[in-house]
Amino acid sequence: MRNKIDKSRLFFVGVLICLSLGVLSLSGCYPFETKPIAPSNLTAISMGRHEIWLYWQDNSDNEDGFSIYGKFGQSWLWLDDTRSTIYYDKGLNPGVTYHYKVKAYNSVGSSGFSNEASATARK
């Protein structure tokens, strides 16, 4: 006598495995989405009288974009969003030092901040 596989049990086990690893939908089993990993190696370079160029390392493969923050006094304020790992901050005052941090984000939430980078807009 051959061993028969109970298909209903196999389906149930498959659903349990899927639910422990991800999200079950009518079209399949998908892994849970997580927050992205924080960017690193943020660098700020003065590129002209009124602009600073920022670039950083993307450490995640599930971000929708990046949020740029600038320091004003003791507070970090959101400046802009971008999908690139390069950002130009324009219209700056010459001779002023600007401080930046970057976060990655997706539909689940945001990563932690990158390192802080600063540069002085050229006179």
Same domain, 68 and 114: yes
Range of the domain at 23: 1-32
- Report pLDDT digits (tens) over 73-122: 999 999 999 999 999 999 999 999 999 999 999 999 999 999 999 999 99
- List the CATH number of the domain containing 88: 2.60.40.10
- Report pLDDT digits (tens) over 3-31: 554 444 434 444 545 555 555 454 555 56
The average pLDDT across 34-55 equals 95
Please, are residues 85 and 39 in contact by the beta-carbon 8 Å criterion?
Answer: yes
Same domain, 46 and 78: yes
pTM here? 0.75
Instruction: Return all residues near 112 (Cβ < 8 A) that are at least 6 apart.
Output: 38, 103
Quote the pLDDT of residue 119: 97
Count up the domains in the chain and report the number.
2
Same domain, 45 and 96: yes
